[in-house]
Each structure stands twice: as C-alpha cells, then as structure tokens.
Amino acid sequence: MESIQAIKQRFGIIGNDPKLNRSIEKAIQVAPTDISVLVTGESGVGKESIPKIIHQLSHRKHGKYIAVNCGAIPEGTIDSELFGHEKGAFTGATNTREGYFEVADGGTIFLDEVGELPLTTQVRLLRVLENGEFIKVGSSKVQKTDVRIVAATNVNMFEAIKKEKFREDLYYRLSTIEIHLPPLRERKDDIHLLFRKFASDFALKYKMPTIKLTDDAVDLLVKHRWNGNIRQLRNVAEQISVLEHTRTISASTLKGYLPSHGNNLPAVIKTSKSDSDFSSEREILYKVLFDMKSDLNDLKKLTLELMKNESAHDVQKKNESLIQKIYGDEEAEDYEGTIEDMEVLSIPEQMSQLSDAIDESTDKYHFAEEVEEEETLSLHDKELELIKKSLERHQGKRKLAAAELGISERTLYRKIKQFDL
C-alpha cells in the first residue's frame, strides 16, 4: 500500500492538513474493494482527485475510468447517456448507442454532481447498484454490467432527501463509505503552499518570473474566506501572474483581485412565492375571519344579556372586558366618549353585513369546523320595547331610564327622537 505522501506526489495534491490526509487515507483503504463511495465537499475543493486515486489503486485500474458530470447533461438525454438507447427509441435516435455503464463494464464510473440526477434516473441507478442490471432506453432487454461507482456532490443530501429531490435508499447505497474533503478556509496552512504552486506553474506556462507575496499579502491571503476554494485561488494566482508587471505583490495589490464580498455569503432573494407561502397566507386569513366572527357573536350575546334586564353595572363590566379582548391593552380613552356612551343596544348594519360576508366566505372555502348559528332577533323591536318600559317605570325621567338601560342620557335622547316616542 502506497503512503499518503506518495499518493499526493503521484496525483499532484498539495497540502498537509490533517483532514485532507484523513480523506486520502480513507480513499487508499477503500480502493481494493468494490464498495460504492460518496465524496462530499464544497464546490472547488478537488473532489475529482479521490475517484482517480480509488480507481488507480483498485483491481480495476486496467479497466475504463469514465467521469460523468450529471449536472451538465440535459434531463431528457441523461438516461440515454448513462444506459444507452435502441434505434428509434426517440426522435433523433438513428442508431443504437451504448451507454457509459455498458462501455465502462469492468471499470469505474465517477458520477460528479450526483445530487442533480432526475428522480427517474435515480431509480435506474439504484437498480444498477443493487444487482448490476440496466435496460437501454426503448428496450425491454435486461443487461448486466460490472461497474464500480464513485459519486460526488456539493449539496446537502439530507436536505435534498427532505425536499424529496433525492431518494433516501439511493443515498445509503451510494454512501457505503463517505469521504469528506474540507473547504480551503479550514486548511489555512495549505493556502500559501497552493498559491506558490500555482504561481510557479503559471510562470512556466507564460514564460515569465514567478510572483511572490509580501508578508502582509500572505496574511491577507490566509484570512480570505475563499468561497470558491482551490478553483478560486488558482484563478487569482493566474490573474496576478498575467496582469502584474511587478513580481512582488503587496497586500494592497492583492486586495484588488479579491472580491469585496469575499467574507460574506451571497444572499438568496426569493422572486416568487411558493405554494406553501400562499397556503400559509390563506390559513392566516381564515383565522382572522373566524376571530372576527367570534367577536361579533360576543357582541350579540352581550346585547341579549342586557335585554334580559341585567344591571347596567354588570353589562358595563362585560362590555369593558369584551373591548379589551378585541383591542388588547388599548385604553378606552382611545375611542370617542366613555363606556356609557357606547351603544350596546344597537349593532350597526355594517357589522351584520360583515358577519354575513364572513359566513359566505367560510362556506365558499369549505371549512371543516362549523360556527354555531346565533338566534336571530329583531333588535329594533326589542330595543324599542325596553326603552318604552324604562321610561314608563321612571315616569318619563330620561336620566333614571338611561342609568337603568346602561347608556348615556344623550344616547337615550337620540333614541327617543329616532323612534318618535
């Protein structure tokens, strides 16, 4: 078994980070077997090196090694690319075609960005992993293949499974062994080493002196977040090598090649509302409608209690409690007049219309729960009858009658005028 250092030299891997070394060690250990491997890590960390190590150290090293970028193949043709197709299987299929699984029989297939596979293709891939069988597009013949699969992804697979974008059973078949490559920001001691290697390579490529960094530039380089990881670092080294005439690079010069948002993750802006957002808004609206109807029913009950000749003091207390329930902790002084001035006997016509509208809305959307219908009353007749009786009892004295009814004398005067008493 080759040492980790020998493997690094053989495959051009730069760095001495313990996490990186552990990933390479796992690749060396798993290579002689036929176990499926899932390589995880952010974009640009060099995941493509692990499948090459596994293939070259396995008994399949003389077989074919095919790397497939699943995210780069259109959904309509990926089944044909992977499993092949028969002549006439679809428009444009003028010949029978062998797929990668047929071509790579006895070798290794590296499925990069496997998280981008369509669900229908995932079902076909699961069959290959379970029993080595596949069927060409447009065929009914089952074919066998002996292929070692190494997959890689930069997406959170558990989130993808939760959102039903990736099959859970396929994930566990692929990740028999999982090898994680750390992002560059977690390998700070390796950043300058990699930069120096890239600077040396580009100096040879473009036939010019190698660039060097000052101490403050090295400090800035190491502290940068490097969201694009090794790929981004390589691009920065190439830009500086080509564009800068001075071969000693200061921090101020380097800063011009680093994005200003380097230490911040890009913001994700939702441009449209999902179905779940609309569903949530409807639920909130329905709740508001039910609460409004409940408040109206409470107002009706309060009026009924007054009609049963409860004392004005009790009705006033209930009225205050109801207002507090509807308006929270707002003071009564926020409304015109005092509690006694409120017309507890008269429910405005608009409230009745609102109640009817809410009933109609709840019927329209087929709510599961039903609101108990309140007993319909002729409030006008009952109110008139109560005022007449009170005035007769107090021999026409409006002040005493108003106190008994729990309303202000001004309101009673207006009612007398309204009913022409």
Give the pLDDT confidence score for residue 348 in this predicted structure: 47
Q: Which residue has the higher pLDDT, 326 or 113?
A: 113
Angle between helices 409-419 and 379-393 (to 10 degrees): 110
Q: What is the pLDDT of residue 417?
A: 78
Sign of the dihedral defined by the CA atoms of residues 359, 360, 363, 364, in that order: negative
The residue among 327 and 7 whose pLDDT is bigger is 7
Structure token digits, residue 127: 């069959």
pLDDT at position 310 is: 53
- 117-151 core/surface letters (b: 16 or more CB in 10 A; e: else): bbeebbebbbebbeeeebbbbbbeeebebebbbbb
pLDDT tens, residue by residue, 162-198: 999 999 999 999 999 999 999 999 999 999 999 999 9
How much is the pLDDT for 179? 97
Beta bridge partners of 152: 39
Strand partners, 109: 66, 149
**Beta partners for residue 67, in sequence order:** 110
Q: Which of 177, 215, 162, 192 is nearest to 32 (CA)?
A: 177
| Most confidently modeled range among 217-221, 267-271, 274-278, 416-420 | 217-221
3-class secondary structure, 134? strand
The residue type at 159: E
What is the pLDDT, as a whole number, of residue 356?
59
What is the rounded distance in angstroms from the CA atom of residue 104 to the CA atom of residue 100?
A: 6
Question: What is the model's pLDDT at position 322?
Answer: 60
- pLDDT tens column, 197-210: 999 999 999 999 99
Residue of higher predicted confidence among 301 and 88: 88
Residue bearing tokens 């580009």 = 202
Residue 80 tokens, joined: 């044909």
Q: What is the pTM of this model?
A: 0.61
Q: Which of the four pLDDT bands, split at 50, 70 and 90, describes residue 13?
A: very high
Task: Pinpoint the residues of the chain covered by CATH 1.10.8.60.
Answer: 186-255
The secondary structure of residue 89, as a DSSP letter, is S
| Correct CATH for 186-255 of 3.40.720.10, 2.70.98.10, 1.10.8.60, 2.40.37.20 | 1.10.8.60
pLDDT reported for residue 90: 86
For residue 374, the model assigns a pLDDT of 44
pLDDT band at residue 378 using 50, 70 and 90 as cut-offs: low
Given this model, what pLDDT does residue 42 score? 95
CATH 3.20.20.70 is the classification of domain 4-182: no
User: Strands, E, within 241-390: which ranges?
Assistant: 248-249
Among 294, 313, 310, residue whose Cα is nearest residue 372:
294
| CA dist., res. 317 & res. 332, Å (int) | 12
As a whole-number percent, the residues of the chain with pLDDT over 90 amount to 58
Least confident of 92-96, 243-247, 302-306: 302-306
Identify the helix (H) or strand (E) that includes residue 112.
strand 108-112
Listed in order, the ranges of the chain carrying CATH 3.40.50.300 are 4-182
The pLDDT score that the predictor gives to residue 25 is 96
